Amino acid sequence: MPSFDELLSGKGVFVDKSVLSPHYIPETLHFRDEEIRKIMLGVAPVLQGTKAKNLFIYGGTGTGKTSSVRQVIAKLKERGVANVYSTYMNCRVYDSRYKVLQKIISDFKPHFSKTGHSFSVLYEELLDWLEQGSGEEKKGRHLIVALDEIDVVKDLDNLVYTLVRINDDVQRGSLAIIGVSNKVNFKQRLDPRSKSALYEEEVVFQPYNAEQLSGILRNRAASAFEKGVVDESAVNLASAIAAGENGDARYALLLLLRAGELCEELPDKKISDSEIERARKLADEDKAFEVISTLPEHQQLLLYSLACLAEDVSYRKLVEDNGEKLYFSGEVYERYASLSRKLGRDPRSSRWYREYLNELELLGLVQMVGSGKGVRGHTTLLKLAYDAPRVKKAVEKTIMAE
């Protein structure tokens, strides 16, 4: 048994857990030198008193887009050049033209009251602020606005158009946009005019490969964990897994974090391959249960019925297929129908039920096999892809709140 002193002094697994969090921004970002250089190149003109390029940054999740942009912005602020300003915002929070403008103004004019202004007042205010400049000589201000997850902005064409046009209306100073997105189809959704305006310069973030990921992990692990906690091969395994998952560094770090939490309970406090594997299972399940919670009600009821059958040992029709229990599609439907009625819902037709099943299989939540020999008639045999009690819990959490 460990002493309390031992536990409290952090003598265990983690030194600093936050290093593994997706929000953590490292001071040096590895393997993104070229991308960062391109961003800096686009931004650099403001240091000479002209407008920066409008940049568009594209790349999958966990490829370092956000960190790179924030780092460039931080570097720019470090230079402390007068009349050069920058702001970063996530468009999940600021998801309209109005909100974005409001945010920009409140960043630089904290005393300007936040509510009660029409859009045109905000526009004039921003225009004014850009033209004025801070020094006595009134050179105008140069602003860079970084819009992360720009694809979620509702009136995007309007926003881009406004922010681009402000450069025409302003006598001195400038405004440039850095747009960040991970949506592939984003380009097509854009009005051609805003597209050409926004895409003055494009930077694409390729997914990390396994070697790069293991480099990143080793680096973070060094400051996140106590010495000797993480196995070399565990890092390589996590990297290989994440490389298969679209080269997502965030996922790789999550694996490491979960593995660390798992091994806190272990006597030898070491992360080896088996902890990574277990962490992966946990992460997969988390994802699956997240999916369950977003499913339509009747698909959840269907899953629940299957889970009930899986727990009900006395249930008649089950087939043993190397230890796996499989259930007959028709009987699952009956169970589902009676459950629906019990809850006061009209069950979906059996035809549609089959359609639901196909979707659930596509999502990897159930597994289906055709009944081959040994079964009367032509049917499908079903089983849950995940642990029945956990599936039940996931469903109960979202809809069975009677």
User: Taking the CA of residue 191 as centre, how many other CA atoms within 13 Å lie in the half-sphere pointing to its CB?
Assistant: 10
**What minimum distance in Å lies between the beta carbon of 325 and DNA?**
16
Q: Does 154 bind DNA (CB under 7 A)?
A: no
**What minimum distance in Å lies between the beta carbon of 397 and DNA?**
21
Q: Does 355 bind DNA (CB under 7 A)?
A: yes
> Judged by CB under 7 A, which of 86, 102, 300, 380 binds DNA?
380
Residue 45 burial (C-beta neighbours within 10 Å; 0-12, 13-18, 19+): middle
Q: Does 331 bind DNA (CB under 7 A)?
A: yes
Which residue number, 200 or 361, has a Cβ lying nearer to DNA? 361
By residue count, the chain amounts to 402
Instruction: List the alpha helices (DSSP H) in 80-139.
Output: 97-108, 119-132
**What minimum distance in Å lies between the beta carbon of 329 and DNA?**
4
CB contact at 8 A, 54 and 197: yes
Q: Does 335 bind DNA (CB under 7 A)?
A: no
> Judged by CB under 7 A, which of 232, 284, 379, 387 binds DNA?
379
**What minimum distance in Å lies between the beta carbon of 276 and DNA?**
37
What is the pattern of x (binds DNA, CB under 7 A) and - over residues 286-325? ----------x-x---------------------------
- How many residues interact with DNA (rule CB under 7 A)? 26
Which residue number, 165 or 354, has a Cβ lying nearer to DNA? 354
> Judged by CB under 7 A, which of 351, 362, 401, 402 binds DNA?
351
Instruction: List the alpha helices (DSSP H) in 178-267.
Output: 192-198, 210-224, 232-244, 249-264
Q: What radius of gyration do the chain's Cα atoms show? A: 27
Q: Does 372 bind DNA (CB under 7 A)?
A: yes
Interface with DNA by CB under 7 A: which range of 92-100, 109-117, 151-159, 366-374?
A: 366-374
What φ, ψ does residue 143 adopt, rounded to 5°?
A: -120, 140
Q: Which of 56, 322, 64, 316 is nearest to 207 (CA)?
A: 64
Q: How far apart are CA 14 and CA 104, in angstroms?
A: 38
Interface with DNA by CB under 7 A: which range of 4-12, 125-133, 266-274, 344-352?
A: 344-352
What is the pattern of x (binds DNA, CB under 7 A) and - over residues 181-220? ----------------------------------------
Residues 6+ apart with CB under 8 A from 165: none
Interface with DNA by CB under 7 A: which range of 53-61, 74-82, 245-253, 373-381?
A: 373-381
CB contact at 8 A, 313 and 286: no
> Judged by CB under 7 A, which of 196, 293, 338, 349 binds DNA?
349
User: What is the per-residue DSSP string for 8-65?
Assistant: HTT-SSBS-GGGGSTT---SS-TT-HHHHHHHHHHHGGGGGTSPPPPEEEEE-TTSSH
In the complex, the residues that contact DNA under the rule CB under 7 A are: 296, 298, 328-331, 346-352, 354-355, 357-358, 372-380
